[in-house]
């Protein structure tokens, strides 16, 4: 038996391909299924099952599409109640026809219907696909379906992760969510593990009782992307195959009034001149995650890019989270300027420069746009705070629009993402990049030591 992981870093998730003899199983595929289909063909196997551990809240599932392409049986938890054809998985009822014995185990907590799948070889448990239940160093968060359900789901999660922890030490642990996923209740490890390793090191297995576990899991939960609320209904009612966008080069006159511009050029190019209102998200594996948080769901999107940038990869990222209307690319802003547009721009400074100004005692405005947890761990004395996704709700109290504002985060990425909202509010920006608050605090500490 061999298990291959396909990591989707921007989502913090993994899909798995299990192969044994001439058969195979795929677990929790994202919507861009060609990579999994290609792996099945390369392995020369017959795909028997596509397993879904739960109704996903962080991406549009590719399970239905992959099963249709390959003739595999699509398996969902029986309690999901999905509105399309599938094989329902029932607790401890082995699935028929697989290359190995596949035993669903009901592990509610991350979602009510959640199933993990035990893999048995010669009657012995060899691996478990744990989805959003027991993770590497963490557990799936219980609040994605709303705060009113979170406490009871956390109690269910306690039972689920501890039951999985009773599996043999050598059992391979293959979770869907990992490092970088907003679906984790705390910092999750990036890779796979074993049950024995998690029993020794995973803090969620160290709580003395269910009440302590619930309080621990519900404390310090961080905000999650706004687009999550749309994923569950799509995945329940029938996710469609990923469309193939026509990423034609656009003229500024081609842009409809309701289009949202996402500028993926390098930060320096965006700072030097960008179309007012465009969202500055330098090319990375998280462009769509942040755009999906900061834009209305499934907004029509046009990219602003430099020649040679992988715009198809960005469109694929958008498609994974249900933004299907990415319809073209503006290459740079020169055409827009030639058509009479006036670009916006702002200054950038380094963390060294910010630390130097603060050390001099000069009175400046600093706006920290990191997550609540990062702010609580430590921030610049006297700085103002507002998390990037909350800027549309208004500016923090005490911010003086007549003065420059230094905008900082942890790396510069979110500070650039904040620029559009701050510019729309009429602020004059100085954006700190690269790095951010931790480096500034370290330098200030060293200067006073």
Q: What percent of the chain has pLDDT over 90?
A: 93
pLDDT band per the 50, 70, 90 thresholds, residue 42 = very high
Residue 368 CA to residue 396 CA, distance in Å, equals 10
Summarised one tens digit per residue, pLDDT across range 124-160 is 999 999 999 999 999 999 999 999 999 999 999 999 9
SS (H, E, C) 21-74: CCEEEEECCECCCHHHHHHHHHHCCEEEEEECCCCCCCCCECHHHHHHHHCCEE
How many CB atoms within 10 Å of residue 131?
Answer: 29
Res. 275: pLDDT tops 90? yes
Torsion sign across C-alpha atoms 346, 352, 356, 359: positive
At 220 the pLDDT is 84
Summarised one tens digit per residue, pLDDT across range 376-385 is 999 999 999 9
Name the pTM for this structure.
0.94
337 CB-contact burial (10 Å; exposed 0-12 / middle 13-18 / buried 19+): middle
Res. 183: pLDDT tops 70? no
Closest CA to 289 of 75, 1, 8: 8
Closest CA to 411 of 272, 286, 225, 273: 286
Angle at the Cα of 104 from the Cα atoms of 101 and 107, rounded to 5 degrees: 150
Summarised one tens digit per residue, pLDDT across range 61-115 is 999 999 999 999 999 999 999 999 999 999 999 999 999 999 999 999 999 999 9
Residue 38 CA to residue 383 CA, distance in Å, equals 51
At 190 the pLDDT is 59
């Amino acid at each position: 038996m061999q298990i291959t992981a396909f990591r989707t870093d921007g989502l913090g998730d993994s899909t798995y391909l299990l192969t044994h003899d001439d058969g195979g199983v795929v677990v929790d595929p994202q919507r861009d299924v060609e990579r999994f289909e290609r792996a099945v063909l390369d392995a020369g196997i017959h795909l028997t099952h596509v397993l879904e551990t739960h109704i996903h809240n962080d991406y549009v599932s590719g399970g239905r599409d992959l099963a249709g392409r390959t003739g595999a049986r699509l398996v969902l938890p029986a309690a999901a109640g999905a509105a399309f054809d599938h094989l329902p998985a029932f607790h401890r009822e082995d699935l028929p026809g697989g290359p190995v014995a596949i035993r669903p185990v009901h592990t509610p907590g991350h979602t009510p219907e959640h199933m993990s799948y035990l893999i048995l070889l010669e009657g012995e448990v060899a691996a478990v696909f744990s989805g959003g239940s027991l993770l590497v160093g963490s557990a799936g968060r219980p609040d994605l379906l709303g705060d009113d359900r979170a406490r009871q789901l956390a109690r269910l999660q306690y039972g689920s992760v501890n039951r999985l922890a009773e599996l043999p030490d050598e059992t391979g642990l293959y979770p869907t969510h990992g490092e970088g996923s907003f679906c984790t209740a705390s910092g999750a490890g990036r890779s796979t593990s074993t049950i024995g390793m998690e029993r020794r090191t995973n803090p969620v297995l160290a709580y003395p009782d269910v009440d302590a576990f619930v309080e621990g899991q519900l404390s310090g939960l961080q905000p999650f992307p706004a687009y999550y609320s749309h994923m569950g209904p799509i995945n329940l009612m029938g996710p469609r195959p990923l469309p193939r966008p026509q990423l034609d080069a656009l003229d500024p006159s081609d842009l409809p009034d309701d289009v949202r511009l996402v500028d993926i050029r390098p930060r320096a190019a965006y700072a030097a001149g960008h179309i007012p209102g465009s969202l500055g998200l330098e090319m990375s594996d998280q462009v769509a995650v942040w755009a999906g948080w900061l834009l209305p769901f499934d907004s029509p999107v046009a990219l602003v890019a430099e020649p040679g940038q992988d715009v198809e990869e960005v469109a694929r990222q958008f498609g994974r989270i249900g933004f299907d209307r990415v319809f073209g690319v503006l290459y740079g802003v020169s055409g827009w300027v030639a058509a009479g547009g006036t670009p916006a721009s702002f200054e950038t400074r380094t963390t060294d420069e910010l630390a130097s100004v603060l050390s001099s005692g000069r009175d400046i405005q600093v706006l920290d746009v990191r997550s609540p947890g990062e702010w609580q761990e430590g921030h610049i004395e006297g700085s103002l705070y507002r998390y990037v996704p909350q800027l549309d709700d208004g500016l923090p109290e005490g911010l003086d629009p007549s003065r420059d504002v230094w905008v900082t985060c942890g790396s510069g990425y979110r500070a650039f993402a904040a620029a559009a909202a701050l510019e729309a509010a009429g602020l004059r920006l100085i954006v700190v990049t690269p790095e951010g608050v931790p480096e500034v605090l370290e330098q200030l500490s060293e200067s006073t030591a």
